[in-house]
Structure 1
Amino acid sequence: MSTPTTTPLDPPRPGYAIGYLTDVEVNDELVEYMVSVEETMREFGGRWLVHGTTPEYREGDLTGDIVIIGFPDIDSTRGWYESDAYQAVIELRTRNSRSHIALLEGVPPTYSTRDTIAGLTG
């Protein structure tokens, strides 16, 4: 699926870091990671949207927890994930859980499915 094109006049698109964690072992290292990750997010405008929430299933199922961090834009999201500060603490998470992490660009507030449909069909 293609991403709708943007112009300089379009409102900014938020960025998101989404984590899906399973086999989480809560211990001192994981607590240290949680404190540290929050500190690393501040510089990039990150804020918790969802933290360690187990989904309420409607279709399918997941066996872990979901974390979503919102950023002002995708460049801030990438900057945070690739920062020296965050890279220095990732191992605290990976030693104590199995995780899948994705960085996503959101849609602007004025987005409509018509935008995507036009890109697909036109």
Structure 2
Amino acid sequence: MPTYAFAHLQTVDFNAEIVEYIERIDATLEPFEGRFLIHGEAPTVVDGSFEGMLVAIEFPDRERATAWYESDAYQQILPLRTRNATGGAFIVDGVAPGYRAASFVARSKA
């Protein structure tokens, strides 16, 4: 089941360190089969509020997503982002094909 790494970047200081981070991140994803789905896009807000930009990266599974984030290659460049952007990142599993929202209700009652 696919797993996703998301970053909600509220502010970004677009400087030399961020440029270096962007130039190096693709190489960190390749060994873990990660691929960008969304990169630095400001969404069109249709309900509520959202400040900043969104990044979404897809991995084949949670093991590879976690291994990517914890890898030496990514940990070496991570400070380039955290020093120059506010926001946060998280990893979350996707749902299986055919998933229905009502499944969440049944799971919650268990």
Task: Tell me the TM-score normalized by structure 1.
Answer: 0.84
Compute the RMSD of aligned alpha carbons: 1.2
Cα offset, 1:27, TM superposition: 1.4
Whole-angstrom distance in 2 between the partners of 1:28 and 1:77:
27
The aligned counterpart of 2:59 is 71
Cα offset, 1:61, TM superposition: 1.3
Q: Percent identity?
A: 39
- Is 1:37 equivalent to 2:25 in the alignment? yes
Whole-angstrom distance in 2 between the partners of 1:90 and 1:121:
39
Residue type of the partner of 2:90?
Answer: A
The aligned counterpart of 1:46 is 34
Task: Tell me the TM-score normalized by structure 2.
Answer: 0.93
What aligned pairs does 1:1-122 form with structure 2 within 5 A after superposition? 13-122=1-110
Q: Secondary structure at the match of 1:23?
A: strand
Q: Secondary structure at the match of 1:20?
A: strand
Cα offset, 1:35, TM superposition: 1.5
Task: Say which structure is richer in helix.
Answer: 2
Any gaps of 5 or more consecutive residues in structure 1? 1-12
Whole-angstrom distance in 1 between the partners of 2:102 and 2:87:
34
Q: Secondary structure at the match of 2:26?
A: helix
Cα offset, 1:117, TM superposition: 2.5
Cα offset, 1:111, TM superposition: 1.4
1:21-66 Cα deviation digits (max 9, x unpaired): 1221111111110111111011101000000000101111122100
Larger radius of gyration: 1
Cα offset, 1:86, TM superposition: 0.3
